[in-house]
């Protein structure tokens, strides 16, 4: 498809190390990213986000399945893929021996920014990221937060159509984070495709056009932020302690068709799918059957909600 920036089909990655259990980092992952959108991969640590980005940036080869970037297969046409991308890796990658400014200009040189433009761009990026006062410092002398800022700043030196950002804002203070997020937004408005990973819901919500939830190496849900949020906000985690437990109560609880249900004595933990507001009515109904001595309600984060749902949906196929 012409307006597709990235596509993966049954992408699988198994890390094999001697004398260790193989790690299935990606398990048949399917993904499609449109050009010009900000695409967020949201998932817990270990979900496989970095592995996916490593494959898309040609750092590692998939074990099976395929992936293409701007129509180029990552395995067969690695160099072509690299012509269209720039990436902020999860770990900092800086020229420790070079100054902040030189880090920017060398990055520009590698990405074919014309010589006469490099200095001007570097100056603009320095200003944009509040790095001007450090421009002559060597990267190795910067604090952790500043290093991260410089690392992220580099991609704003170049105009590659696709930008990968792996946990770009990790370790940044809120003000700089804001600035970074705004810069990313501006880039996308200019037509670039941004693929970012994060384990922070808020960030994905604020920034992304499309979110994909990744769990155990698979995409378990994807869609616009609004769609995903609507799904997520209807999931509640309840922990209720009743004064006493009886058949009627159990029947009532079951009739809520919980996606997860656990009972230990008088304590019931359940996860229900319910439209906004009605959850309180439900609880009120329950309390008429048996008095509630303790109650906890969690709106469940976007991620948790889906992880819970996925965990349950494997056993309970009745859940839609």
Partner 1 sequence: MEMILAVLYREFRIRTTSPVWMFFDLFMPLIYLLMFGVGLDRAMSGGVGQFGGEMSYQSFFLAGVLSMACFGIAINTSYGFFVDRENGIFYEFLTYPMTRGEFLVGKIVFNCLLAVVQSALTLSVGTLVLDIDIRWQYAWFAASGIVVGTAGWFFFLTILALRIHRNDIFNTVLNVAYFVLMFASSMFYPVDSMPAWLRTISLMNPLTWHTDVLRFATIGIGNVETIILEAVAFGVFLLVSFWFAVRTLQHAVIK
Q: What is the largest CA-CA distance in the chain?
A: 79
From 41-49, 74-82, 105-113, 224-232, span contacting ligand ADP (CB under 6 A): 41-49
Options 8, 48, 50, 72; binder of Mg ion; rule CB under 5 A = 50
Return the beta strands (E) in the chain as ranges.
Answer: 4-15, 23-34, 38-42, 64-69, 72-73, 85-88, 162-166, 193-198, 210-215, 218-224, 235-242, 260-264, 267-273, 292-298
Contact between 21 and partner 1 by CB under 8 A: the answer reads: no
Binding partner at 85 among Mg ion, partner 1, ligand ADP, none, C-beta below 5 to 8 Å by kind: partner 1
Q: What angle do CA 1, 231, 180 make, to 5 degrees?
A: 65
305 vs 210: CA distance, rounded Å: 18
Q: At what angle do helices 115-128 and 144-154 cross, to 10 degrees?
A: 140
Instruction: Spell out the residues 6+ positions from residue 270 whose beta carbon is closer than 8 angstroms to its own.
Output: 237, 238, 240, 253, 256, 258, 260, 261, 262
Tell me if residue 155 falls in helix, strand or coil: helix
Nearer to partner 1, 85 or 270 (CB): 85
Q: Which of 1, 2, 19, 45 binds ligand ADP (CB under 6 A)?
A: 45
Residue linked to tokens 């750092």: 59
Q: Does residue 57 touch Mg ion according to CB under 5 A? A: no
The answer to the question of residue 49 lying near ligand ADP (CB under 6 A) is: yes
Dihedral sign computed on CA atoms, order 90, 96, 101, 105: negative
Q: Which stretch binds ligand ADP (CB under 6 A): 49-57, 178-186, 285-293, 295-303?
A: 49-57
Question: What's the min distance (Å) between Cβ of 198 and Mg ion?
Answer: 10
- Contacting residue, 5, 86, 157, 212, with partner 1 by CB under 8 A: 86
Residue nearest to Mg ion (CB): 50
Residue 43 binding target from partner 1, Mg ion, ligand ADP, none, CB below 5 to 8 Å by type: ligand ADP
Under the rule (CB under 8 A), what is the footprint of partner 1? 15-17, 54, 57-61, 78-79, 82-83, 85-87, 89, 91-98, 102, 106, 109-112
Under the rule (CB under 6 A), what is the footprint of ligand ADP? 15, 17, 23, 25, 43, 45-51
Under the rule (CB under 5 A), what is the footprint of Mg ion? 49-50, 90
């Amino acid at each position: 498809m012409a307006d597709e920036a990235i596509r993966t089909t049954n992408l699988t990655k198994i890390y094999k190390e001697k004398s260790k259990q193989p790690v299935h980092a990606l398990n048949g992952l399917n993904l499609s990213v449109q050009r010009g959108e900000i695409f967020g991969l949201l998932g817990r640590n270990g979900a496989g986000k970095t592995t996916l980005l490593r494959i898309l940036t040609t750092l590692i080869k998939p074990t099976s399945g395929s992936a293409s970037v701007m129509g180029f297969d990552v395995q067969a046409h690695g160099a072509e893929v690299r012509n269209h991308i720039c990436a902020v890796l999860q770990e900092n990658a800086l020229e420790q021996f070079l100054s902040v400014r030189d880090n920017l200009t060398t990055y520009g040189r590698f990405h074919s920014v014309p010589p006469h433009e490099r200095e001007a761009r570097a100056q603009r990026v320095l200003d944009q990221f509040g790095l001007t006062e450090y421009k002559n410092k060597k990267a190795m002398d910067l604090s952790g937060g500043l290093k991260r800022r410089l690392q992220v700043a580099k991609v704003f030196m170049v105009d590659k159509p696709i930008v990968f950002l792996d946990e770009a804002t990790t370790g940044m203070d809120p003000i700089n984070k804001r600035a970074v997020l705004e810069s990313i937004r501006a880039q996308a408005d200019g037509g670039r495709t941004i693929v970012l990973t994060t384990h922070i819901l808020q960030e994905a919500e604020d920034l992304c056009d499309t979110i994909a939830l990744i769990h155990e190496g698979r995409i378990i849900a994807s869609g616009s932020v609004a769609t995903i949020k609507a799904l997520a906000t209807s999931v509640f985690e309840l922990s209720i302690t009743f004064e006493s437990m009886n058949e009627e109560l159990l029947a009532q609880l079951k009739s809520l068709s919980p996606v997860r249900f656990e009972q230990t004595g008088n304590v019931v933990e359940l996860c229900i799918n319910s439209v906004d507001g009605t959850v309180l009515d439900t609880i009120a109904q329950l309390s008429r059957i048996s008095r509630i001595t303790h109650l906890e309600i969690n709106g469940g984060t976007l991620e948790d909600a889906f992880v819970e749902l996925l965990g349950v949906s494997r056993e309970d196929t009745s859940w839609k």
